[in-house]
């Protein structure tokens, strides 16, 4: 049995991750303890080794305790806590380098299914793989292969096929139900979609199949309890894997929205290439800015999760995973060494290249993810340049007019004041559009030169259905 400890700089974030993880549990198969924030009302952000030690001790009745951490001092506090613990307890503890949110969810499901510590750690560490594959990013991990002893052509394997009716497919919660349901059977199992197979023993494996609504999936089973596993699978699918199959209720803006235009064009100081600092100093500047941006995203996940039920928080959890990819930092450091440039220049080069890769994709949905990369770039550059983002002082009803809009900017708007967003570019498939619709803010994009003459203060009407902007005479 493996229990978990969540260590975070933010008490709200730690509790939020814990709440998400507990939703993956169907019993008391995995205990979760939280050690987040510090007891200082004026400066609550930080980590405390004593809190971490107490949290570990509270769940040390298991074979092992896995500690999930966010960044920076969380790791240092966990290492200090290990030194303070009794040797017998410390010997049970493993520190995990996986991303906090996705890694914790994957580890929770794995631990609840009865996996040993090595399997739980492996599932947590592989939490990035499904998202990498979905976004078309290169992966350092080997491709998942079907279990050799249970090939599709094996006549001894029994199977059953089902059509997934869940509106959002097998996302994290229904996938966790599937892992839990199948974990107790004495049978070799494979889950197959369109000829691709994975072992259904972790969230990560199931996520690699990218199972959407109306997809057909097949469970293959061989062994003593193969029939029981197939029956349980069929029963779970009939119950929509533990959730409603209906589309979630979503707020929508009215067909036409009228308000006062506010032009919005956020700026940053120009990026300078040549550095007057050492390479080590620039690396330190970049690492600090990325850590601050990661903390921003963690807080954003918690706030969005509390304000809007559904999957909006997963957008910013995905941002966190993308930014926390060590390969990006490594590439930036290579530029710092080879070109002796500033952290701003190196980071801009790395993320601009990634954004361009998205814009060249054939899939319109994936092309719309380029603004997510730009969002991360703008946030991290603002930390590097110490230039905080400021929004206009809106008066209701307001229509925000811009070239494009980052998802994190959209979520910062007050829907009681900002009634519409009108963009020169953008995409109806962008995450900002999804967030705006959920908040009840009209979203009209790809207006091009029609916005050239629009001035702050003039009245605009957004025709949402026709995706056009009308200037009032």
Q: Which residues are catalytic?
A: 9, 171, 431
Kindly report whether the peptide bond that precedes residue 164 is cis, defined as omega within 30 degrees of 0: no
β-sheet bridge partners, residue 422: 401, 444
CA–CA gap between residue 379 and residue 286 (Å, rounded): 12
Three-class DSSP category at 19: helix
β-pairing verdict for 64-69 and 32-36: unpaired
Calculate the CA dihedral of residues 53, 84, 117, 133 and round it to 10 degrees. Answer: 70
Calculate the CA dihedral of residues 222, 223, 228, 233 and round it to 10 degrees. Answer: -30
Angle of helix 100-112 versus helix 117-125 axis, rounded to 10: 150
CA–CA gap between residue 350 and residue 338 (Å, rounded): 14
CA–CA gap between residue 373 and residue 358 (Å, rounded): 9
Report the alpha-carbon angle 155-161-167, nearest 5: 155
Half-sphere exposure of 54 (CA within 13 A, CB side): 8
DSSP state of 449: G
DSSP state of 274: B
E strand or H helix at 289:
helix 279-307
CA–CA gap between residue 17 and residue 14 (Å, rounded): 5
Tell me the DSSP string of 228-254: HHHHHHHHHHHTGGGS--SPPP-----
Residue 455 in contact with residue 263, Cβ under 8 Å?
Answer: yes
DSSP state of 215: -
CA–CA gap between residue 19 and residue 375 (Å, rounded): 27
CA–CA gap between residue 426 and residue 39 (Å, rounded): 43
How many angstroms from the chain centroid is the CA of residue 464? 29
Half-sphere exposure of 40 (CA within 13 A, CB side): 10
């Amino acid at each position: 049995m493996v229990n978990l400890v969540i260590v975070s700089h933010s008490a709200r974030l730690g509790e939020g991750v814990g709440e998400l993880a507990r939703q993956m549990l169907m019993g008391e198969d995995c205990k979760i303890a939280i050690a987040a924030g510090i007891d200082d009302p004026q400066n609550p952000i930080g980590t405390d080794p004593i809190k971490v030690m107490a949290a570990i001790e509270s769940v040390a009745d298991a074979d092992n305790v896995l500690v999930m951490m966010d960044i920076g001092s969380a790791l240092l506090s966990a290492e200090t806590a290990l030194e303070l613990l009794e040797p017998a307890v410390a010997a049970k503890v493993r520190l995990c380098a996986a991303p906090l949110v996705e890694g914790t969810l994957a580890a929770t499901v794995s631990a609840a299914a009865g996996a040993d510590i090595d399997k739980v750690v492996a599932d947590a560490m592989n939490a990035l793989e499904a998202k990498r594959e979905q976004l078309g990013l290169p992966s350092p991990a080997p491709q998942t292969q079907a279990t050799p002893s249970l090939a599709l052509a094996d006549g001894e394997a029994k199977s059953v096929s089902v059509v997934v009716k869940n509106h959002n497919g097998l996302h994290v919660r229904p996938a966790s139900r599937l892992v839990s349901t199948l974990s107790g059977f004495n049978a070799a199992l494979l889950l197959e979609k369109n000829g691709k197979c994975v072992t259904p023993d972790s969230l990560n494996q199931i996520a690699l199949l990218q199972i959407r609504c109306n997809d057909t999936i097949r469970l293959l089973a061989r062994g003593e309890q193969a029939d029981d596993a197939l029956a349980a699978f069929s029963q779970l699918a009939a119950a929509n894997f533990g959730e409603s199959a209906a589309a979630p209720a979503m707020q929508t803006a009215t067909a036409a929205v009228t308000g006062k235009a506010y032009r919005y064009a956020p700026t940053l100081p120009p990026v300078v290439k040549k550095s007057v600092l050492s390479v080590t100093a620039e690396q330190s500047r970049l690492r600090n800015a990325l850590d601050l941006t990661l903390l921003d995203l963690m807080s954003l996940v918690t706030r969005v999760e509390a304000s809007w039920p559904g999957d909006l928080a997963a957008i910013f959890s995905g941002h966190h995973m993308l930014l926390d990819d060590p390969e990006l930092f490594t590439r930036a450091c290579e530029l710092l060494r080879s070109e002796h440039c500033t952290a701003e220049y190196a980071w801009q080069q790395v993320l601009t290249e990634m954004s361009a890769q998205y814009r060249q994709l054939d899939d319109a949905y994936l092309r719309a993810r380029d603004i997510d990369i730009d969002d991360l770039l703008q946030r991290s550059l603002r930390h590097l340049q110490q230039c905080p983002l400021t929004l206009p002082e809106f008066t209701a009803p307001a229509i925000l007019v811009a070239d494009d809009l980052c998802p994190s900017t959209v979520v910062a708007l007050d829907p009681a004041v900002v009634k519409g967003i009108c963009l020169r570019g953008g995409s109806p498939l962008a995450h900002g559009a999804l967030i705006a619709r959920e908040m009840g803010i009209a979203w009209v994009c790809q207006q091009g030169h029609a916005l050239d003459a629009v001035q702050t203060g003039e009245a605009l009407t957004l025709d949402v259905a026709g995706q056009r902007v009308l200037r009032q005479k």
